[in-house]
């Protein structure tokens, strides 16, 4: 099954006027049982839809291609390829059994994304935890406001910034300019070749090389 979706805005006006999401407390605290949090999330979804965002429910397919400003209520799952370009919210889990490609901003209100391979080619911001089971390739600038776990090789030709980083394989560098890894919490990187990627820790608000 090959399901492709394209939600490009017909004009640039709507996208410029659309505000960024305000993360509901359920996503901040990861306690969905708290009273009133479901209503808060619903209100935020309705506000964004009124601003021009597109809403869909539980997307599962072999190949998924989405662009624009999209809210997926429930699960977003692809068995082969998942390609996202634009601004996206996933209220539950994001899963990809093949190649996951992202360009833009991704809010993981459910808290986690689990993918086989991750490919980041341009400036990207992910809000939530990401687990990569095979390998990741990052080109350009990638910011993960959460923990990145990579089993396998992490290939870099740009800048990776995250709160926590856990790797079980090597970190490989590509390109003429050396890549950079920035983590906000120390002692979380377990890579075999960290120095080659110029690991940097944020200490007291300043970047200091190790």
Residue 65 scores a pLDDT above 50: yes
pLDDT band of residue 172 (cuts 50, 70, 90) is confident
Residue 55 scores a pLDDT above 80: yes
User: Could you identify the residue written with the tokens 């920035």?
Assistant: 182
Arithmetic mean of pLDDT, 30-49? 72
Element housing 183 (H / E): strand 180-183
- Structure tokens belonging to residue 143: 């910011």
- Structure tokens belonging to residue 67: 């662009």
Arithmetic mean of pLDDT, 31-44? 67
Residue 73 scores a pLDDT above 50: yes
Per-residue pLDDT, 203:
33
Are 161 and 143 a contacting pair, CB within 8 Å?
yes
Give the Cα separation of 162 and 139 in Å (integer).
Answer: 15
Query: Coil, helix or strand for 41?
Result: helix
Give the Cα separation of 184 and 186 in Å (integer).
Answer: 7
Arithmetic mean of pLDDT, 183-191? 62
The separation between CA 107 and the C-alpha centre of its own chain, rounded to angstroms, equals 7
Residue 77 scores a pLDDT above 80: yes
Per-residue pLDDT, 41:
84
pLDDT tens per residue across span 105-156: 999 998 899 999 999 988 999 999 999 999 999 988 999 999 999 998 899 8
How many H helices and E strands in the chain?
Answer: 3, 9
Are 75 and 95 a contacting pair, CB within 8 Å?
yes
Query: Coil, helix or strand for 178?
Result: coil
Residue 177 scores a pLDDT above 90: no
Give the Cα separation of 144 and 103 in Å (integer).
Answer: 13
Per-residue pLDDT, 193:
42
Per-residue pLDDT, 37:
60
Listed in sequence order, the residues at least 6 apart from 82 whose beta carbon sits closer than 8 Å to its beta carbon are: 63, 64, 76, 94, 96, 98, 99, 100, 101, 115
Arithmetic mean of pLDDT, 72-82? 95
Listed in sequence order, the residues at least 6 apart from 133 whose beta carbon sits closer than 8 Å to its beta carbon are: 114, 115, 116, 151, 152
pTM above 0.85, yes or no: no
């Amino acid at each position: 099954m090959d399901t492709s979706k394209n939600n490009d805005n017909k004009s640039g006006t709507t996208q410029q006027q659309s505000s960024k999401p305000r993360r509901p407390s359920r996503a901040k605290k990861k306690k969905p049982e708290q009273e009133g949090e479901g209503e808060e999330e619903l209100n935020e979804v309705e506000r964004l839809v009124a601003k021009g965002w597109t809403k869909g429910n539980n997307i599962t397919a072999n190949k998924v291609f989405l662009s624009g400003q999209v809210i997926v209520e429930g699960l977003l799952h692809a068995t082969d390829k998942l390609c996202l370009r634009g601004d996206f919210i996933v209220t539950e889990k994001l899963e990809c059994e093949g190649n996951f490609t992202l360009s833009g901003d991704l809010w993981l209100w459910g808290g986690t994304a689990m993918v086989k391979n991750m490919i980041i080619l341009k400036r990207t911001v992910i809000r939530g935890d990401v687990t990569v089971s095979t390998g990741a390739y990052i080109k350009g600038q990638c910011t993960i406001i959460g923990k990145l776990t990579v089993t396998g090789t992490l290939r870099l030709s740009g800048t990776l910034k995250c709160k926590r980083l856990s790797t079980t394989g090597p970190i490989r560098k590509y390109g003429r300019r050396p890549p950079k890894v920035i983590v906000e919490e120390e002692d979380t990187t377990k890579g075999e070749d960290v120095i080659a990627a110029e690991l940097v820790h944020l200490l007291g608000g300043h970047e200091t090389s190790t």
